[in-house]
Structures are given as C-alpha cells and as structure tokens.
Copies of this chain bind each other. A is one copy, B any other.
Amino acid sequence: MTDTQNPPAEDPDRDARHKARMERKKEIVDARIAAAQDERGVIVITTGNGKGKSSSGFGMVVRALGHGMRTGVVQFIKGAQPTGEEMFLRRFPDECAFHVMGEGYTWETQDRARDVAKAEAAWEVARGMLRDPGIGLVLFDELNIALKLHYLDVEQVIADLRARPPMQHVVITGRGAPPALVETADTVTDMTPVKHAFQQGIKAQRGVEM
C-alpha cells in the first residue's frame, strides 16, 4: 500500500511529467494486452486469512450475470441463517443455480463422518455444474475448507475441474487452498488481513460480514 512515485502536491512540472509517465504506462499496458491472446475459461482462487474471499467470488458471479451468462453457486459451508448474497441471488433462479450444503460442519457439528458425507453430496452438485456447458461461471464458495479438512479428495476435485467445458470459469474461495489446487489455477490471490473491525469490538454487520 505504499506508493512513493507520485510527485508532491506543489510540484509545478507535475502535469507534464504526469502526461509523460502515463504515456509510458499506456504503452506497457497496451503491449501486454496485445500479447495475451489465449481465450478460455479460467480457474480463480481467493484464499488467505483476510476479508473479501467469498464476496469477491459473488462479485464475479454478478459480473458474469451482467454479461448474460448463466451461473452456478455451491456453498460448502452453511451458516445458521441464509446470507445476503443467497437471499439476493435466489431471486434469479433461471440465471443463477444456487445450492447450499445441507447443513454446517467443522466446529458447529463436531461429527466428521457426517461432514464428509455432506461435502461429498455438495461436490456431486458441483460436478453436475462442471458438466454443463450452458453455465458460464461457477462459484464453489469455501471449497478450500472442505479440501483442507480432507473432506474431499483434492486429486478428484482437480480431475473434475480439468474435465469441465473449455470456456467455463471457476471461482474457488476459502482459507488454506491446497498447493495442488493453487498449481492448477490460473489466478490466485491471497487476502491478507491488515486490520479487522471484529478485533475492535464491532459485531459482524449485516450486508458486510453476512
């Protein structure tokens, strides 16, 4: 977040130097765009301990919907109440197939065999989406958690991802993305916490956290 390349606010030559710098920047960006030619579906992973992993996935769903694509969502962690994104996206059943795993797991359920069965059932739904070329983008929210806890086999998941329609995009969220999945993905971002309202005694807020 540091940036020391900007001139100070009082610099009289700033406009001319700004123009020259922006011209150079435009040349570089244009050259990189021209070099990137491959058009195909990508696998995007958002992981790490910071905020914004699931919400960036839902933002990509909205982006895809705006381009007229059909989308699919499978949530691998279910909370006590439906999230705002679920309530909103369920308004568009023809555009977004929304599936939430039957019940929560890990620290809320404390029953591993049941967790595994639930995760496997959710992956079956996900696999159905991965076989449907009519779905342009799928979001597997918190899938990384199911993999991290060994509820699902990462090699099977990767095989199913690789067998999907060539133009389909996949977004996978959750802490602790396994290295093999990171290796398979095209774009990976680690959400790194800088600070969090929760640490400052602020409750989870509707519309922001849930």
In the bound assembly, the distance between CA atoms of A206 and B168 in angstroms comes to 11
Give the distance to chain B from A190, nearest Cβ to Cβ, in Å.
4
Chain A: interface residue total (CB-CB under 8 A): 101
**A206 — nearest CB in chain B belongs to which residue?**
B67
Are the C-beta atoms of A88 and B63 separated by less than 8 Å? yes
A63 is contacted by which of B197, B202, B208 (Cβ under 8 Å)?
A: B208
Query: Is A121 at the interface (CB under 8 A from chain B)?
Result: no
In the bound assembly, the distance between CA atoms of A39 and B205 in angstroms comes to 7
Which residues of B sit under 8 angstroms from A207, Cβ to Cβ? 60, 63-64, 67, 69, 136-137, 169
Interface core residue of A56, A61, A64, A194 (most chain B CB under 10 Å): A56
Interface residues of chain A, those whose CB is within 8 Å of chain B, are: 1-3, 6, 9, 14-15, 18-19, 22-23, 25-26, 29, 32-33, 35-42, 44-48, 50-67, 69, 82-89, 106-113, 136-137, 148-150, 169, 171, 175-179, 182, 185-198, 200-208, 210
